[in-house]
Amino acid sequence: MEFRIASERGRSQIEDLWAYCFEPAEHPFFQWYFTNCFRSENTLVGFEDNSLAACVHLNPYQLFLRERTIPVSYIVGLATSPEARRGGVAGHLLKAALTEMRRRKHYFNILMPSKAGFYYPFGWELCYHQLKYTIHLEELRGLTSSEGRFSMITCPDQWEMLQSVYEKFMAGRHGFSIRGEPEWRKLIAAHLAEKGYISVLECDGLAAAYLFYQLRDGKIVVGDMSYSSAQAQRSILNFFYNHRSQASTVEFNTPFNDNLHLSLPNPKEGVAVYPFMAGRVVDVTEGLQALGYAQQIQVEVTIAVVDQLAEWNNGTFAIAVKNGQAKVRITDSETADLACTIGALSQLVFGRLSAQELIAGGKLTGKDATKIALLDQLFPKRDNYINEYF
């Protein structure tokens, strides 16, 4: 099978495959995506006998990872034609995608898996979890605040009202997407195209919270929500509560370390852990050298990595960190301080699991407790949060 970057001439086949696997062509999101987001130069296709057999979109993003702004690819829309399925095409496509991302100097990537287990053998592991709430509006009665005033966002030109809230909400968090004017305009346009609502809370003349939501079959379904304080969060709950004539429940997600559930009158129901986003290291050497490290740490450690899809990641890597910068090289040594798969290394680097947790889970091996502790100094566990959908 031949893999290559798509051309505009093949756009109709890409659209047809998306429509077959995901939303039909008449769906508002389909129309918005292929009008505003799709770029042939960010689309990898696989052809067999001149027919499109597989396709994946490598949308460029910037993430805040380890104190640095890092360019990444967000894999979306991985699709195979029905006649090409169960023949290993998806694995070959992902391998070609890793090669292309490496060429683009995107040394990390993310994807939102519909079935996470499908991607585990290819080196992707879950790096982001959220808490998913499904709450009866009546249960919010004692948790609300009427402070501030809500108003509607009706066009992308109002994006600046949301930016300051997002920055405050992400303060102290990790792994989030860097948003600027282009990103906000896309998000707002996409949500409005799907007949959603965007509401912003203002307190003392300043934006304090926002929420993207839809009203569906007696439910308030929230897609994105940020708030600058606990008081602003309570005002959002009040906003939900005031919809009792239109809805009976509200669904929304929060960061994994959110403690709202501790205040619910019935926290045993309606709160669930929601696996959200997977991550992967594309290039061990270049990726680790691109990250930032604590200035006071001076570390030397070797890690043997196994990667079934990217041969350049197979080997023993010597990592030396000094003055906040890493130097990484592949060594000929047959012994290493620690060993893991590329998936486990990804969870460590993204900050989802610590070295100690990976050891306990059997995903990282090594007998030298000092080296394990050093690894936790290099890659301390972080509070990951991201809420991007395409």
* Model confidence band, residue 237 (pLDDT cutoffs 50, 70, 90): very high
Query: Is residue 320 pLDDT above 90, yes or no?
Result: yes
Measured between alpha carbons, how far is residue 225 from residues 84, 142, 156, 179, 383 in Å? Answer: 39, 21, 17, 14, 17
pLDDT band at 38 (very low <50, low <70, confident <90, very high): very high
136 pLDDT above the threshold of 90? yes
For residue 390, pLDDT beyond 90: no
- The confidence band for 87, taking pLDDT boundaries of 50, 70 and 90, is confident
* Lowest-confidence region among 71-75, 78-82, 282-286: 78-82
Per-residue pLDDT tens digits for 334-353? 789 999 999 999 999 999 99
pLDDT digits (tens, 9 = 90+) for 137-161: 999 999 999 999 999 999 999 999 9
Report whether pLDDT(389) > 90: no
pLDDT in tens, 7-26: 999 999 999 999 999 999 99
The answer to whether residue 50 scores a pLDDT higher than 90 is no
The answer to whether the predicted template modeling score (pTM) of the entire model surpasses 0.85 is yes
The stretch 195-210 carries a mean pLDDT of 96
pLDDT at position 79: 94
Domains in the chain and their CATH numbers?
2-111 (3.40.630.30), 131-276 (3.40.630.30), 283-378 (3.30.1050.10)
Task: Map the chain to HEC letters.
Answer: CEEEECCHHHHHHHHHHHHHHCCCCCCHHHHHHHHHHCCHHHEEEEEECCEEEEEEEEEEEEEEECCEEEEEEEEEEEEECHHHCCCCHHHHHHHHHHHHHHHCCCCEEEECCCCHHHHHHHCCEEEEEEEEEEEEHHHHHHHCCCCCEEEECCCHHHCHHHHHHHHHHHCCCECCECCCHHHHHHHHHHHHHCCCEEEEEEECCEEEEEEEEEEECCEEEEEEEEECCHHHHHHHHHHHHCCCCCCCEEEEEEECCCCHHHHCCCCCCCEEEEEEEEEEECCHHHHHHHCCCCCCCCEEEEEEEECCCCHHHCEEEEEEEECCEEEEEEECCCCCCEEEEHHHHHHHHHCCCCHHHHHHCCCEECCCHHHHHHHHHHCCCCCECCCCCC
Q: Quick one: pLDDT at residue 298? A: 93
* Average pLDDT for the chain: 95
